[in-house]
Structure 1
Amino acid sequence: MLSYYLYKLHFSGPVHIGPDHGQSPLESSMTTMHSDSFFSALCVEAARYGGSEMVENLVDDARQSRMVLSDLLPCRGEELFLPKPNLPFVQARVEADSENRKEFKKMRFVPISMWTDYCKFCFEEKPFPLKKCKEAMQGFSYPDQRQRVAVEGSEDPEPYFLQATSFPPDSSLYCILGFDSGQTRSKWEQLLNSLAWSGIGGKRSSGWGKFEVSSPDPLENHQVLHAGLSAKDAPMWITLNTSLPTDEELRSIAQQSSYLLCRRGGFVDGEAYKKRTVYAFSAGSCVHTRFEGDVLDLAPKGRRAVYRMLKPILLGVFK
């Protein structure tokens, strides 16, 4: 049985979070970060201080489910936001609503204070205050585009654009981590606090991506999250992170799932070669049966291991 804690990351400046599609990665920046990217950043930080042995220890924690983590998700003040569940019967109903169809499609997150209302909208077809939900996310973050100049050898300087994400003082990102023991928690919290100084995302050498971590907040203080994550049985589960069932699990749950896929690829940190690309479930994917997932080594043949954590953190959804 895992104990869950919530951590808020308050960024001191811009952060560049590369897009899923892999095209022109410098010219756009995401608002949130996938859990597997965040896990990789923690492993890189661990390698600096403890070498490959410490990294293997972290990977073993993940493989044995002694630790799980969510995506980095939006929060504003005391308000947390959850991924909008990908429910096909709701999408079909929204398609018939010509007045609000586009706004519902644009909506990516649901304020946790409105989560019960949204579940009633989904399962009982009760009205949902879409306008209020939209207003809650307005101005949460803003794109921060800058022009840079690339200078390579004797070639002429070549200008290019680089985009980051910046957050107003009341906005930040949060993650949920679950631990099997106090010892595991202490180890990962030390690493998280160390990563805050190094930063996450791209262009860290320019000081981007640095953050302060809030004190751990036990999930017992958040009723919706605590009830959903501690549930042993639920009619439906949504993923709060980037995850992927094993091949065997996928065969058994594919017909009962409604998932969004995201491309997971990119270059290895500090190296000139790419990881192997996989497609994983995005946060907000819905399944009727829990799954375990795995931690994959996606390094090209003959290269050092490159780990991608695709173990799920599942929130029970009740009608």
Structure 2
Amino acid sequence: MYTPEVKAEILVLLKELKLLRDDGDVTRTSSFAILRRIRGRLLLRPRNDPDGSQVTVVASGRGAWTGWVDLIKDRIEEKAITNTARVIREVAADIVGVVEAEDRITLARFTDSLLLNPVDAQPLYPHVMVVDGNDPRGIDVGVLATNAYPLSMMRSHIDDGTFGDRVFSRDCPEYWFTFPPGSALAGQRLVMLVNHFKSKFGGNNPASIARRKRQSKRVAEIYDDLRAAGVDHVVVLGDLNDTPDSEALQPLLSDTDLTDVASVRPFDDGDPDEDRPGTFGNGTKSNKIDYVLLSPSLFARATGAGIFRKGVWGGVNGTLFPHFDTIEADHEAASDHAALFVDINLD
């Protein structure tokens, strides 16, 4: 039951959130919270009450209504976010695989505010998609695509495995595109499988290895099924959280015809000393955990690839790799993972 004291506190909190007079509006810049009412009534709001002083709580208790308050998510003015956008701008890929996205709306706000065409102020990546996965923290994988590559279909694999024992920590979504008119592959299908495998956080124990191996095997099966169905152009990418020689990744790296873009020539590893092939942290060999893997048809058309390190802070003082002049400390880096890219010839 809501006691008089509880009702008074509810009104104080709603006033602080500017929700006394209405439920808030996501399109209104003054709103930073929304009162979600599903069933029942919480408040009585008199019509002629401009300051909300006559609003009362009419719900007798928590069981008398169903609803909650949501905070509105907005763009954060932080250098790290701006530097992330700068990485995407400079790599200038037609399709970008995104790891650790919060949700589609947040990712769309990021692109629509920080990745605009300077000529017409239109989004460089108007096609934004994220499928909510299995991570309870809301860490998902998604894609950004230019006007030339509208998303034609998607398929989720969040339910692969049994209840309580799903294969994927997040998902292995299939994002389907069609090569644009005028290209050598016009009308043909392109499928991106974006992944984020089980991490080694807390130790690389046998259970962690087994989980990644299970995920690797399932992605290999999905890839093989696509190829058997006549899809020639497939990319598997993401943070696989293990090295190329690891037992866990062999079902994907050794037992399929996928090829790591590190085998593309020329390959620019972004390291002045050319002794750091990794993509995470300081780029050591043990930190090569991010991948872009190509089916044979795409590998045959690859004209160059590399690791773009200008958005990371290498070493204690950030001196391992050249980085953006807008990064002055490690917390301002775009990410602790360098971006991977590959160029595909469509002429």
TM bucket normalised to smaller: under 0.3
- Which of the two has greater helix per residue? 1
- TM-score between both structures, scaled by the size of structure 2: 0.22
Q: Greater CA radius of gyration, 1 or 2?
A: 2
More contact order relative to length (CA 8 Å, sep ≥ 6): 1
